[in-house]
Structure 1
Amino acid sequence: MIHILIVEDEISMLKGLQDNLEFEGYQVDTADNGAEGLKKLLANKYHLVLLDVMMPEMSGFDVCKSARTRGIKTPIIMLTAKAEEIDKVLGLEFGADDYITKPFSLRELLARIRAILRRTGIEALTEDHQIQKIGRLSVNFAGYTASVDGQEVKLSHKEFEILHYLYAHKNETVDRDNLLDAVWGTDYQPTSRTIDNFILKLRQKIEADSNDPKIILTVHGIGYKLIL
């Protein structure tokens, strides 16, 4: 699984980026200041770093420069609220691989991440580009395809997204509200019956016996858990 470090001192943005990247299937670590970010970067192996520029204790520039002087070659995308050319040039001169100016769209950020992972040959490591066996179902999340015993099985877009989120959090209890926010967004919330119907449809395609589920479990009063 692709392992990404986010270093960002704005907690709401940090949490938002973490949730969205985890939904995309990435494993995510976080740090809310430059010094902590550098410490984690030196102590762990990451495939990519999202690094804010303006932070307490150490700026993103200093973190990037220090990491590069210590031989860390992990790809770095700088996150900056400044649009001045000098800041972009500094980031690249200190060893950043790319930069993106706030505010940015999630789609643009994901495109930048995937572009760097492709250039560095890391993208092929992601589980999303492999066939995942979930109960009876074989799933390719990147290709939006699914099959049982070699026979294609039709999943709706929402079914793929729900299953993708549960898979990204496999063996964990997923809060119902978090699942709804991740798949439908905060502007529209389906009823409890709607999400239950989607889970029922997924069970019929995944479970050996949908009336006695062993893969997608209901955690009463909380949400669901995908067991693998």
Structure 2
Amino acid sequence: MRILIVEDEINLADALTQILKKQNYSVDAVYDGQSGLDNALSGIYDLILLDIMLPEMDGITVLKKLRGEGVATSVILLTAKGDTSDKITGLDYGADDYVAKPFSTGELLARIRAVMRRKGELVPEDGMKYGDIELNTSSLKLTCKGKELKLILKESELMELLMTRKTSVTSKEQMIEKMWGFDSDVEHNNVEVYISFLRKKLVFLQSSVRINTIRGVGYVLEASD
């Protein structure tokens, strides 16, 4: 899952980035509202942590413009404690939740999980399942019928993306944007390498799940009976 942090307190933004990366989220951080809007409009993010008090463009305006453009990405507002009017305005404009500063790491992570569950994303604490495999995104372990393998982070992110999309085909471009960012110079062969690694690991686990290539389109999971 890819998260965008829009927060002008650089130390806080950097701390949040490290906290979320330790939870194996992919994270980008920007420090003003205009950059936040530009990044969010790319559509590659699953969640945005959006501060309200920002230079160049305040968070409420960013949120309003996103919803006006039809961007439905989940948004959690970072608000000043007791600033009720901003919370109400943000929720009215389509924010999914808010966290008042200062907040605990545990509260923030719980709210992220809760928001993504409401959006229908697979963010269970115990892992994701598809066919006969289970992926634990915290430990990066892929399990099948009692056998398990430890994945590297990019393998886990790619498998998570495929499992989340289930029977929907995912293009190489979508994979690059989700895993490396929309301005990345990563090439298609990087994706092909990780697909190859995952296929070999599924075979090793004797899983009935396969990663099928849809020529000219992308990749999709299939679970045999």
Normalised by the length of structure 2, the TM-score is: 0.58
Gaps of 5+ in 2: 156-225
Gaps of 5+ in 1: 132-137, 154-162, 171-228
Cα distance in 1, alignment partners of residues 75 and 5 from structure 2: 10
Cα distance in 1, alignment partners of residues 53 and 36 from structure 2: 13
Q: What secondary structure, in the 3-state scheme, does the structure 2 residue paired with 1:76 have?
A: strand
* Alpha carbons 1:7, 1:34 under 8 Å: kept: yes
Cα distance in 2, alignment partners of residues 72 and 45 from structure 1: 10
Counterpart check, 1:141 vs 2:136: yes
Cα distance in 1, alignment partners of residues 63 and 51 from structure 2: 10
Structure 1 127/26 Cα, relative in aligned 2: closer, same or farther at 3 Å?
A: farther
Q: Which residue of 2 aligns with 1:47?
A: 46
TM-superposition CA deviations, 1:148-199 (whole Å, max 9, x none): 985578xxxxxxxxx7xx94477xxxxxxxxxxxxxxxxxxxxxxxxxxxxx
Counterpart check, 1:19 vs 2:18: yes
* Alpha carbons 1:128, 1:142 under 8 Å: kept: yes
Cα distance in 2, alignment partners of residues 14 and 145 from structure 1: 25
What amino acid is the match of 2:121? I
Between structure 1 and structure 2, the one with the greater Rg is 1
TM-superposition CA deviations, 1:84-127 (whole Å, max 9, x none): 32121011112111101000001000110000111111125999
Aligned ranges 1:89-168 → 2 under 5 Å: 89-123=88-122, 128-129=127-128, 140-141=135-136, 150-151=145-146, 167-168=152-153
Tell me the matched-pair count.
153
Q: Which residue of 2 aligns with 1:160?
A: none
- Fraction of identical pairs, as percent: 41
Q: Which residue of 2 aligns with 1:193?
A: none
Normalised by the length of structure 1, the TM-score is: 0.58
Counterpart check, 1:71 vs 2:66: no
Structure 1 13/167 Cα, relative in aligned 2: closer, same or farther at 3 Å?
A: farther
CA positional deviation for 1:139: 7.8
Q: Which residue of 1 aligns with 2:57?
A: 58
* Alpha carbons 1:145, 1:152 under 8 Å: kept: no
Runs (4 or more) in structure 1 with deviation over 4 Å come to: 124-128, 142-153
Cα distance in 2, alignment partners of residues 39 and 145 from structure 1: 31
